[in-house]
DNA sequence: ACCTGAACACCGTTCAAGT
DNA sequence: ACCTGAACACCGTTCAAGT
């Protein structure tokens, strides 16, 4: 009692893989992936960095675990609903997860040793498309174009150097100011006439593209 | 004469931003972006790491320069051709560049301070779409879905843990062996019936998706 | 079984000093 | 003007030692 009370109360519960992963995700959410180091993570947990290696085999394993935790947050596509609404919901759900965890964007498809939640997610996506009448070949096409788009869009959105409309204006001006007037006429007009108009938000583009692809897939479903 | 001959001949031409960038790209092409450090780059050029700072303001500036050099390798989309063939050629051209320089995949749209070649490329893409009859709003849609897909596909392809068909089989087996039989039935069937069939190459999916998107854009071009 | 301290081999970058 | 050596504040990871 006295002994346990004398220790720093905060983070002195026993370490576990789950606690390590949760802490790492919080750190990456707040400060970005580049601010996540084994040493800082240890500090966050009130422990030396080296203790982490008892719960995670190295930093790569840590990242894999974090990714799988993100997939676990995404509800797997339903096998009851019709494929198109299920795939639409799932697309929006992945995007929402990547907005919560932008650091995961480049890593979701990092391939090596996917975790259980990751495999389950992919299993359900394939099951949903097969159940919707897609051949194996068409399932491969659909999977590829949908996930390519979903992750690629997230990457672009994340990389965008402006988060607010005010930033957008400043950025656009700075970008074009570095070059002779008229050197990039189409880009300049596009900025002026579209991007800088009030109400523009790049994030809004996501659904347009998702629906465009889903419609196109529906049209091609019965080919080949 | 004698003096200059006594120095190591190899890399003793004067340093310049161009030489630094070219060397950095070569290093990243060969060993991946994570093997590119200021110290190794210096060594490659026969110079101390600190000398690089005379030609590049920091590592971020180095990376921006490298990206712009990759864009400079990509021929800008023609404004004479019809928009669809021009955009198709350009999509394939970007993909080819990313196959030559996989390390660039996550960085092409990194936003901050794009270089002249990058801006020119984007200017031409917008010009091509506008010239093809796309409204500003539709140009934004088209740009977003095309680039999202192109970069997203490259990211997935790069992340794929197998480069050869033999690897694919080994990988698929290892992946599924870690879990109870039947836990991922759709994934397992998909692997068995499609991915592991001879002749399968994920890279081939790229063109299918590109054409699917271009067709869908054509159909929607005159809306809104 | 879990945690630690010291150490190793790396990073990017600054700064005063050299030519 | 360009290059260097030494230094600073970081990394991931190993390993022997502690409890």
Question: Cβ-count burial of A151 within 10 angstroms (0-12 exposed, 13-18 middle, 19+ buried)?
Answer: buried
Residue B213's pLDDT is 98
Which of residues A13, A29, A56 is at a domain's end? Answer: A56
Least confident of A90-94, A96-100, A103-107, A149-153: A103-107
CA-to-CA distance for B86 and B82, rounded, in angstroms?
A: 6
Nucleotide whose C1' lies closest to the alpha carbon of residue A56: D13
- Chain mean pLDDT for chain A: 89
Residue A62 belongs to some domain of the structure: no
A78 lies in the same domain as A185: yes
Q: State what percent of residues in chain A have pLDDT above 70.
A: 91
A44 lies in the same domain as A115: no
CB contact under 8 A, A216 and B220: no
Find, among B150, B151, B154, B158, the residue nearest to B211 by Cα.
Answer: B150
Residue A78 belongs to some domain of the structure: yes
Cα distance between the two ends of chain A? 71
A75 lies in the same domain as A42: no
B202 lies in the same domain as B92: yes
Q: Residue B192 has what DSSP assignment?
A: I
A119 lies in the same domain as A159: yes
pLDDT digits (tens, 9 = 90+) for A213-222: 999 999 999 7
pLDDT digits (tens, 9 = 90+) for B156-168: 999 876 667 777 7
B196 lies in the same domain as B100: yes
> The pTM is what?
0.92
Q: Give residue B6's pLDDT band: very low, low, confident or very high (50, 70, 90).
A: very low
Nucleotide whose C1' lies closest to the alpha carbon of residue A15: C2
Q: Give residue A4's pLDDT band: very low, low, confident or very high (50, 70, 90).
A: very low
In whole angstroms, C2 C1' to A51 CA is: 8
B40 lies in the same domain as B83: no
CA-to-CA distance for B61 and B48, rounded, in angstroms?
A: 18
Find, among B141, B4, B45, B126, the residue nearest to A191 by Cα.
Answer: B126
Q: Which residue has the higher pLDDT, A179 or B75?
A: B75
For strand C, the positions having any atom within 7 A of a protein Cβ are 2-6, 10-16
CB neighbour burial string for A3-29, b if at least 16 within 10 angstroms, e if fewer? eeeeeeeeeeeebeeeebbebbbebbe
Is the predicted pLDDT of residue B69 greater than 80, yes or no? yes
Chain B contact probe: residue of A77, A179, A186, A220 with most B CBs at under 10 A = A186
A207 lies in the same domain as A154: yes
Token pair of B35 as six digits: 């093997």
Residue B224's pLDDT is 56
Domain that holds residue B41: 2-56
pLDDT digits (tens, 9 = 90+) for B181-206: 789 999 999 999 999 888 888 999 99
Is the predicted pLDDT of residue B99 greater than 70, yes or no? yes
Is the predicted pLDDT of residue B127 greater than 80, yes or no? yes
B15 lies in the same domain as B87: no
Residue A110's pLDDT is 74
CATH number for the domain that contains residue A174: 1.10.357.10
Say which residues have a Cβ less than 8 Å from residue B63's Cβ, sequence separation at least 6: B107, B110
Does nucleic acid strand D have an atom less than 7 angstroms from the CB of B15? yes
B100 lies in the same domain as B7: no
Residue A71's pLDDT is 97
Number of independent structural domains in chain B: 2
Alpha helix (H) ranges present in chain B? Answer: 2-6, 17-31, 38-44, 59-73, 83-100, 116-131, 136-159, 165-177, 185-190, 205-220
Residue B27 belongs to some domain of the structure: yes
Helix (H) or strand (E) holding A120: helix A116-131
Residue B147's pLDDT is 97
Token pair of A165 as six digits: 């409309």
CATH number for the domain that contains residue A11: 1.10.10.60
CB contact under 8 A, A116 and B151: no
Q: Residue B191 has what DSSP assignment?
A: I
Highest mean pLDDT among A11-25, A38-52, B106-120, B150-164: A38-52
Residue B161's pLDDT is 66
A128 lies in the same domain as A46: no
Average pLDDT of the residues in A128-133: 97
Is the predicted pLDDT of residue B1 greater than 60, yes or no? no
């Amino acid at each position: 009692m006295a002994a346990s009370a004398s220790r720093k109360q905060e983070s002195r519960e026993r370490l576990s893989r789950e606690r390590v992963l949760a802490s790492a995700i919080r750190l990456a959410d707040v400060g970005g992936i580049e601010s996540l180091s084994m040493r800082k993570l240890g500090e966050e947990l009130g422990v030396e960095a080296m203790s982490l290696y008892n719960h995670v085999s190295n930093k790569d394993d840590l990242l894999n675990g974090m990714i799988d935790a993100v997939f676990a947050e995404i509800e797997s596509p339903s096998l009851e609903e019709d494929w198109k609404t299920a795939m639409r919901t799932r697309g929006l759900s992945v995007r929402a997860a990547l907005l919560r965890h932008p650091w995961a964007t480049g890593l979701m498809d990092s391939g090596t040793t996917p975790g259980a939640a990751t495999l389950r997610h992919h299993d359900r996506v394939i099951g949903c498309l097969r159940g919707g009448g897609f051949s194996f070949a068409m399932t491969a096409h659909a999977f590829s174009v949908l996930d390519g788009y979903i992750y690629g869009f997230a990457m672009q959105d994340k990389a965008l150097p402006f988060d607010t409309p005010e930033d957008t204006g400043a950025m656009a001006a700075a970008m074009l100011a570095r070059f002779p007037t008229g050197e990039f006429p189409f880009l300049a007009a596009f900025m002026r006439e579209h991007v800088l108009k009030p109400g523009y938000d790049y994030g809004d583009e996501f659904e347009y593209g998702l629906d465009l692809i889903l419609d196109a897939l529906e049209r091609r479903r019965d080919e080949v």
